[in-house]
Structure 1
Amino acid sequence: MKIEVENLSKKYKGEYALKDVSFTLEEPKIYGLLGRNGAGKTTFMDILAGNILATSGSIRVDGEDPFDNRRITESICLIKEGNNFKKDLKVKQVLKLFAFFYPGWDEELAGNLVKSFGLPANAAVKSLSKGMESALGIITGLASKAPVTIFDEPYIGLDVAARKKFYELLLETYEADERTIILSTHLIDEVSLLFEEVLILQEGSLALQREAEFLRENVCTVSGAVEQVEYFLKGKEVIEKKTFAGMMTAYVYSSMKEARESGLQVESVPIQELMIYLTDGRKGA
Structure 2
Amino acid sequence: MTFGIDIQNLTVRYPGVTAVDDLTLKLEGGKIYGLLGRNGSGKTTLLSLIAAFRRVTDGSILVDGRVPFENEELTQDICLVRESGDTVVEGESVKGVLRRGRRFRPRWDDDLAQRLIDLFQVPVNRGVTKLSRGQRSALGIAVGLASRAPLTMLDESYLGLDAPSRYAFYDVLLEDYMEHPRTIILSTHLIEEVARLFEQVVIIDRGRLVAHDDTETLRMRGAAVVGPAAAVDDFTTGMTVLGEQRLGGTKSVTVYGEIPADARTVATDWGLELSPVALQDLFVHLTKGDPA
TM-score range, shorter chain: 0.7 to 0.9
1:101 — aligned with what?
104
Query: Scaled by the length of structure 1, what TM-score is found?
Result: 0.88
In structure 2, what is the Cα distance between the partners aligned to 1:178 and 1:157?
A: 26
Are 1:116 and 2:119 an aligned pair?
yes
Alpha-carbon distance in 2 for matches of 1:239, 1:57: 38
Residues 224/105 of structure 1: CA separation in 2 closer, same or farther (3 Å cut): same
What TM-score, normalized to structure 2? 0.86
Unaligned runs of at least 5 residues, structure 1 = 243-248
**In the TM superposition, what whole-angstrom CA distance separates every residue of 1:184-232 from its partner, at most 9, and x where no partner exists?**
0101111101100000001010000010021234431454327x744xx
Query: Structure 1 residues 225, 173: closer, same or farther in 2, change over 3 A?
Result: same
1:269 corresponds, among 277, 282, 290, to 277
Report SS of the residue matched to 1:134.
helix
Matches within 5 A, 1:223-238: 223-225=232-234, 229-230=237-238
Identity %: 42
Matched, 1:158 2:167: no
List aligned pairs for 1:125-164, cutoff 5 A.
Answer: 125-164=128-167
Per-residue displacement from partner, 1:100-149 (whole Å, max 9, x unpaired)?
11110001111121111111111110111111011000000000000000
Q: For residues 224 and 167 of structure 1, do their structure 2 counterparts lie closer, same or farther at Cα, with a shift above 3 Å needed?
A: same
Query: Match of 2:48?
Result: 46
Secondary structure at the aligned position of 2:59 is classed as: strand
Root mean square deviation of aligned Cα: 2.5
* CA drift at 1:50: 0.2
Question: Secondary structure at the residue paired with 1:262?
Answer: helix
| Pairing partner for 2:256 from 235, 252, 256 | 252
Q: In the aligned structure 1, how far is the partner of 2:112 from the partner of 2:152?
A: 15
Whether 2:81 is the aligned partner of 1:73: answer: no
- Counterpart residue number, 1:246: none
Match of 1:245?
Answer: none
The aligned counterpart of 1:186 is 189
SS state of the match for residue 201, structure 2?
A: strand
User: How far 1:2 moved relative to its partner?
Assistant: 1.6
Instruction: Indicate conservation of the 8 Å contact 2:33/2:200, yes or no.
Output: yes
How far apart are 1:258 and its partner, in Å?
Answer: 5.5
Within 5 Å, give how 1:8-47 maps onto structure 2: 8-47=10-49
Identify if the C-alpha distance between structure 1 residues 111 and 221 changes in structure 2 by more than 3 Å, giving closer, same or farther: closer
Q: What runs of 5+ residues in structure 2 fail to find an aligned partner? A: 226-231, 245-252
| 1:118 match: secondary structure | coil
Point out 4+ residue stretches in structure 1 off by more than 6 angstroms. 238-242
